[in-house]
Amino acid sequence: MKEEQHLPSFALAFLAYLELEKRYSPHTVLAYRTDLEQFFQYMQGTYGDMPLPEIRYFHIQSWLVTGIHPDKKASSSVAAVTIRRKISTLKSFFKYAVRKQLLVQSPMAKVNSPKVRKRLPVFVEEKGMQQLEQNAVEGQPVFTDDFRGATAQLIMDLLYQTGMRRAELIGLTMEQVDEGNKQLKIRGKGNKERFVPISPLLLEQITAYEARKRREIEQPDPHRLLVKPNGKPLDENYVYKVVKAALSQVTTVPKKSPHILRHTFATHLMNNGADLNAVKELLGHSSLAATQVYTHNSIEKLKKVHQQAHPKA
């Protein structure tokens, strides 16, 4: 298999498909690329120029056991969740290859993913989010009153109040804001669209930000709602830094990432009695199983309330 940038041409075509047709985020596409580069480098170094149709499940098992970390067995050196992700990458790739008639059948049928102990989603308490919403922590403002601060505050409010993903936030346009129905049309994974309601206050914040952007920023990117102070569109690192800086003032959760706000959005909805199917639709999950993890946090809260309030607890 001849390589271009460490990958065969058909693997590069698969990555382009994920980016352009499935509309996966750059972060997700990079994870797929990394897994595929590791796999094909291992195949090249171990088996030479093996044609794609000759790859069998035992070649893949060999990579999972010895190729990910050449000095140790995969089970002792790589977390099960990492193995599961790499298997998922290869399953998606070989499924694509079959659909493109590069293969008759996928070699992944006999490859089993290791079981992973479910971890409860980490989230920020409601008090902390209220402090951010009010822009006041111990009497001090969280966000500055300049355009940078306005952008940071809108980033936080949109992520928390809609549960959207970071990539969905970055790609948001004013055309996706339905002022009449007070909702956002969010374009998610696989180019799927969903509608998420927004409060009158958030809608007012969006329109005020758009007006301020036009007044203060020279030639802002015309295709994005949120921009940097230089007018350029947001990127993943910029959003991460904004979220980390804001959350550092109101919570001690170890991982202060944009995805934590998505967990927080869902958990707060469940804790306040939201229907599981409704939360699924708001998050844009394709299956209910992905949403059910948030019921555990809700149950834990109920247990705590019961222990504190019931005389027989």
Catalytic residue positions, numbered:
165, 189, 259, 262, 285, 294
Bridge partners, 137 (sequence order): 140
Residue 119 CA to residue 133 CA, distance in Å, equals 28
- Residue 73 to residue 20: CA distance in whole angstroms: 36
DSSP E strands: which ranges in 22-178?
Answer: 177-178
Round to whole Å and give the CA distance between 227 and 131: 24
Tokens of 134: 């009010």
User: Which residues are within 8 A (CB) of 153 and not within 5 positions of it... i.e. 6 or more apart?
Assistant: 132, 135, 142, 143, 205
The rounded distance, in Å, linking the Cα atoms of 88 and 108 is: 10
Amino acid at 201: L
Beta partners for residue 197, in sequence order: 183
For residue 57, which of 112, 107, 114, 96 has the smallest C-alpha distance? Answer: 107
Specify the long-range contacts of residues 204-208, CB closer than 8 Å, at least 24 apart.
205/153, 205/154, 205/157, 206/154, 206/177, 207/179
